[in-house]
């Protein structure tokens, strides 16, 4: 399905509330309800959807994913748009919270199983304790920079809320965007105190 755009959210206060209402309904074919949902970075909406099929009598719980565009100052007046898909389509977006994944029913869809595994891996990476000032961080993949340099090992320098990465060999400082989402390990700083003379 393609994108749907609209010039208002109607009576709903947020895109999340709008989407929850869109996928909650009852008709002759059955019933659909959202058990839980989450809006991530106002770009992606994830939900556990329970559907009852009147004809078969079966109830399933699966994941819905909507790409979201929300701009109250859109020049064309179309302030909100979304593109919906189910987990069986194997969405690229894989930041579904674990609390929603835990609600999903069993599936035999290979795309859905792979998507769930990617979401679990993302959740695990996000929940890692952050490196401390002076720790060494080692990325699984080489990071390439605009100045032509590259590397995997960096010393961490915490400056308030910012994290700066130092090349230990050259002393060059770098910022790495979205570094928390990458695969990395930490080598903790070891303080060695010499005995008093």
| pLDDT tens for each residue of the chain, 197 residues long | 689 999 999 999 999 999 999 999 999 999 999 999 999 999 999 999 999 999 999 999 999 999 999 999 999 999 999 999 999 999 999 999 999 999 999 999 999 999 999 999 988 888 888 888 888 999 999 999 888 888 899 999 988 888 999 988 888 899 998 888 888 888 876 555 556 65
Q: Please provide the DSSP assignment of 97-151 as one string.
A: -HHHHTT------HHHHHHHHHHHHHHHHHTSPPPPTT-EEEEEEEEE-TTS-EE
Same domain, 122 and 161: no
Same domain, 115 and 160: no
Same domain, 88 and 144: no
Q: Is 193 among the domain residues? A: no
Q: What is the pLDDT of residue 194?
A: 55
Q: Which two tokens stand for residue 126?
A: 């996000």
Backbone dihedral angles phi then psi of residue 22, each to the nearest 5 degrees: -60, -35
Q: Is 106 among the domain residues? A: yes
Q: Is 91 among the domain residues? A: yes
Integer Rg of the chain from CA: 23
DSSP state letter for 146: T
Q: What is the pLDDT of residue 84?
A: 96
Distance CA 62, CA 32 (A): 11
Q: What is the pLDDT of residue 83?
A: 97
Q: What is the pTM of this model?
A: 0.76
Q: What is the pLDDT of residue 23?
A: 96
Q: What is the pLDDT of residue 189?
A: 67
Q: What is the pLDDT of residue 180?
A: 83
DSSP state letter for 13: S
Q: What is the pLDDT of residue 1?
A: 63
Place of tokens 């008093």: 196
Same domain, 65 and 87: yes
Find the distance separating the first CA and the last CA of the chain, reported in whole Å: 75
How many structural domains does the chain have?
2
Same domain, 104 and 14: yes
């Amino acid at each position: 399905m393609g994108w749907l755009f609209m010039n208002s959210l109607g009576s709903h206060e947020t895109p999340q509330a709008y989407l929850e209402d869109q996928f909650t309904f009852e008709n002759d074919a059955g019933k659909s309800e959202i058990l839980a949902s989450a809006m991530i970075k106002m770009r992606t909406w994830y939900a556990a959807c329970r559907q009852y099929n009147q004809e078969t009598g079966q109830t399933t719980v699966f994941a819905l994913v909507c790409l979201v565009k929300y701009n109250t100052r859109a020049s064309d007046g179309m302030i909100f748009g979304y593109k919906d898909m189910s987990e069986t389509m194997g969405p690229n977006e894989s930041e579904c919270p674990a609390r929603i994944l835990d609600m999903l029913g069993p599936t035999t869809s290979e795309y859905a199983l792979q998507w769930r595994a990617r979401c679990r891996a993302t959740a695990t990476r996000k929940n890692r304790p952050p490196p401390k000032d002076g720790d060494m961080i080692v990325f699984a993949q080489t990071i390439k920079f605009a100045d032509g340099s590259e590397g995997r090992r960096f010393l961490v320098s915490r400056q308030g809320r910012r994290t700066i990465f130092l090349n230990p060999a050259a002393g060059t400082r770098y910022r790495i965007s979205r570094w928390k989402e990458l695969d990395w390990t930490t080598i903790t700083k070891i303080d060695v105190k010499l005995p008093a003379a």
